[in-house]
Amino acid sequence: MSNPRISKNELLKMLREDEEFRYAVAGLIGVEDIKSSLDRLIQSVNRLSQSQEKLTHEVDRLAELHAKLEERVDKLAEKVDRLAELHAKLEER
């Protein structure tokens, strides 16, 4: 009975030269499953990236609105202070 063992070099040569053998080995080690999983992960990361970009734009918009509201509140506070001063003057009379 002969020894069925092959060397690493022979195995690598077979992988390079024998397409059918190469696909059989790829199937056995689950290359397609890994590739499919990787493709799904890439799609998920792309969707997350798009969602993050939308959220960033929304946060920027909300920050602008917040700044405008702060300005309006400050102006209202000034007017309230002015009204309080006028009211105090009227009370003095």
Q: What mean pLDDT comes out for the span 5-26?
A: 94
Residue 5 phi, psi (nearest 5): -70, 140
pTM of the model: 0.58
- For the chain, the first-to-last Cα distance in angstroms comes to 124
Residue 78 lies in a domain: yes
* Domain count within the chain: 1
Q: Determine how many CB atoms are found less than 10 A away from the CB of residue 15.
A: 13
pLDDT at 1 over 70: no
The sign of the torsion formed by the CA atoms of 14, 15, 19, 23 equals positive
Range of the domain at 82: 8-92
Q: What is the pLDDT of residues 40-76, one digit of tens each?
A: 999 999 999 999 999 999 999 999 999 999 999 999 9
* Cα–Cα distances in angstroms (integers) from residue 55 to residues 13, 27, 62, 65, 93, in the given order: 52, 41, 10, 15, 57
Residue 2 lies in a domain: no
